[in-house]
Amino acid sequence: MEAMSLLGVLGICSLRDVRCRTLRTGGILAFAVLGIWLHLYLGRLELLDMLGGMAVGLVLYACAAMSGEKIGKGDAMLVMVCGIFLGFWETILLLWVAFFFAGAFGFLVMKIRHVGGSYELPFVPFLLVGYVLCLFLWGGTIA
């Protein structure tokens, strides 16, 4: 149930990020409440692990604020919510895989389209691809 919920929100947010380059924080916060409720009900993650996963998103949010939103605050909030569902280490893994794919794709876009380093890419689709890849590689142990 958790994996399907996370896939759903990442899919919806990916479409919005590609189309509008923005994310709605109300929906993200509602999903955070759902994640907290699921963990209280199912008890899969301990509170400390959930808080650690959220801390990854908080660090990303601080980076977004310090960089003048080179990283979107909505993206950081979504990573924070992923942390609620995944915990600390799985959120780190997800973020690493997403950054890898975003970097590789960004490199290709720069070479093919001849755009500069200031070209903006939506980040949430890479979170989705990273999550799906992690699900396949680790057989559902990630959420």
Burial class, 137, CB count within 10 angstroms (exposed 0-12 / middle 13-18 / buried 19+):
exposed
Q: Band the pLDDT of 143: cuts 50, 70, 90.
A: low
Model confidence pLDDT, tens digit, residues 80-117: 999 999 999 999 999 999 999 999 999 999 989 887 76
pLDDT classification of 141: cutoffs 50, 70, 90: low
The pair of structure tokens assigned to 90 is 């799985």
At which residue do the structure tokens 């907290």 appear? 36
Q: For residue 108, what are the CA distances in angstroms to 14, 71, 99, 105, 119?
A: 20, 19, 14, 5, 12
Q: Of 4, 3, 124, nearest to 75 (Cα)?
A: 124
CB 23 within 8 A of CB 124: yes
Three-state SS at 119: coil
Q: The whole model's pTM is what?
A: 0.89
